Amino acid sequence: MILDGIGDVYSSSGDFQKAVNYHKQSRILFSQAGEITLESLSIGTIVSIYRNFIGDYQQALIYIEEALALHRKAGDREQEASAFNQKGDIYIRQGNYQLALDAYNQALEIERLITKNPKAEARTLGNIALLYNFLGDNNLSISNYNQALNIYRKLNDKKQQARIFNYIGGVSQSNGKLDEAIESYNQALQLFNKEDYTSEIAIRWGLAKTYRDKNDYSKAFEAANRALELSEQYQNYFQETASIEIIGSIYLIKGDYKNALDNYTKAIKNYRKSGLLKKEAEILNTISIAYSSQKQYQQAIDILNEELKIRRFFKDIQGEADALYSIAKNQRKLKNLETALTNIDSAITIVQNIRSNVQNPDLRTSYFATVQNYYKFKINLLMELHKKDPSKGYNAQAIETSEASRARGLVELLTEARANIRKGANPELLAEEKRLQDLINAKEKLRFEIINSEKIRNPVLKANADKLQTEIDELLNQQKQLETKIRQSNPKYANLKYPQPLKLAQIQQQLDKDSLLLQYSLGEERSFLWVVSPTSLDTYELPKKSEIEKASINLFV
């Protein structure tokens, strides 16, 4: 008990590695004394520290397995089910969704057939519903939520019923089923405890966003303003700011840019006071959209540069790339083409070094489309520059960009198809590659959870976020060194995992004397054809993608 107490002191001071070491010593002593219950409590603390503070999910899973063995030995099936739920939560954090589902189903089987604990069963069903939501399977998500809802109805637990209806509303809204979402949110409003203002605010937010998406602005404002009134009444600073932000979003979609900017300006001041950097960056991005929509492109660029500083400060590399892309788009509108090219090059350099770990199929498709938009934009920009000055070789850069886009597309397709590209690669290097990536993902997830929430105001947690960043930087250096080893030991695997697109001269070297390569790039604004011979490159501007597709259909009908 004393060792656990010392561990708790170290946790309070932010020295989580020392804390976990003391809890491990305590666990050993409890094990030697045959104190199974106390040993399992120590293990639970160890799991929590690895999962929530150190960011080593693999170690957390090892100790959960030990906890499961203890619970089985003690015949404590309720704690066994709870451990399976914890296991599922960690697998979700890792992105191992099938393993998470297996763990949740094991918990569910115990809760249904052995302990017959309906509350625990409903909680696990909620976890499964959330998992299916991550995977983009909205029907299975709602089905599991409805099973949980039926249990809470039998238990006459109105608070949990309201919570589930709120979740169903969110899933329906994200799936575009707006009327169903509104019905669920209204059901939630009827059930929640009238003194639970926090829940009412969350439900009103959902209603406001759904009515906004339906373009029913009067009802959207009604719901958002009610949320604002409640948050002001109960002096909840964060919820007040979020309500103002939602009101701003309604004005923005409505096209009332003045009122949108007024509300976003209020919200951003509040987020700055709270130190919520990610929220500040997000609102700056939205403000830039309001300026750009009014053709005030320089104002948009100024705001985006503020966003860029923040993204770089807290090392949000995908956010940094998106901000650079937005800056480039606005610079193009101002005809600053070469400056726009510099910024889109920087954005592409960033995304070339990012490998998508998104598991949700819809989100993965969206992410892939975003990355491809970067390449399409750069191609258009280069061809615009080529038109202005054909002597500078911008058309050669354009076909090379098209090759880079195709190479990145191949990586994403192989990821999507779960293709086995590892055959023949050194298994030890692959294992180390996976270990490093898992640690980077886990520590980055934890760091973002701190810096993107009110946790950042806690000095201990803020210090932990800084420490996590230092650890991430070191892991990234190790990852780069490992990539070099992989390239040297298995060029075939490296070429698929880290493809190097061909330059124009390399493409021409591949062609026979009497051969031509025709390469197309179809775009939303216009399309391009490059005709490559061993000694020349000719380029042609073609109609936009939709017109070409229409003509192709007519040709074969």
Question: Would you list the DSSP string of 485-505?
Answer: HHHHH-HHHHHHHS--PPPHH
pLDDT surpasses 90 at 103: yes
When pLDDT is averaged across residues 288-299 and rounded to a whole number, the result is 97
Nearest to 226 by CA among 252, 251, 249, 207: 207
Residue 449 lies in a domain: yes
DSSP state of 539: E
pLDDT surpasses 90 at 142: yes
pLDDT at position 434 is 85
Q: Which amino acid is at 377?
A: F
pLDDT at position 418 is 54
Residue 353 lies in a domain: no
Question: 222-263 pLDDT, tens per residue?
Answer: 999 999 999 999 998 889 999 999 999 999 999 999 999 999
pLDDT at position 290 is 96
pLDDT at position 362 is 56
Beta carbons of 283 and 264 less than 8 angstroms apart: yes
pLDDT at position 101 is 96
Residue 448 lies in a domain: yes
pLDDT at position 18 is 93
Residue 186 lies in a domain: no
Residue 453 lies in a domain: yes
When pLDDT is averaged across residues 75-84 and rounded to a whole number, the result is 95
pLDDT at position 42 is 93
Residue 399 lies in a domain: no
Residue 513 lies in a domain: no
d(CA 123, CA 121): 5
Residue range of the domain that includes 428: 420-501
Question: 537-553 pLDDT, tens per residue?
Answer: 999 999 998 888 888 77
Question: Could you tell me the pLDDT band of residue 78, with boundaries at 50, 70 and 90?
Answer: very high
Question: 37-58 pLDDT, tens per residue?
Answer: 899 999 999 999 999 999 899 9
For 35-96, strand residue ranges (E) read none
Q: Which long-range contacts (CB under 8 A, 24 or more apart) does 3-8 make?
A: 3/29, 4/41, 4/42, 4/45, 7/45
For the ranges 98-107, 230-239, 343-352, the maximum mean pLDDT occurs at 98-107
Question: Could you tell me the pLDDT band of residue 365, with boundaries at 50, 70 and 90?
Answer: low
Question: For the stretch 236-269, what's the b/e string if a residue is b when 16 or more beta carbons lie within 10 angstroms of its beta carbon?
Answer: beebbbbbbbbbbbbbbeeebbeebbebbebbbe
Greatest distance between any 2 Cα atoms in the chain: 84
CA angle 540, 331, 258 (to 5 degrees): 130
d(CA 357, CA 93): 11
Residue 450 lies in a domain: yes
Residue 509 half-sphere exposure toward CB, CA atoms < 13 A: 5
Query: Which has more pLDDT, 411 or 516?
Result: 516
* Averaged pLDDT score across all residues of the chain: 90
Q: Point out which residues pair with 519 in neighbouring strands.
A: 530
Beta carbons of 430 and 479 less than 8 angstroms apart: no
Overall domain count for the chain:
1
pLDDT at position 461 is 84
Query: What does the radius of gyration of the chain's CA atoms come to, in whole angstroms?
Result: 27
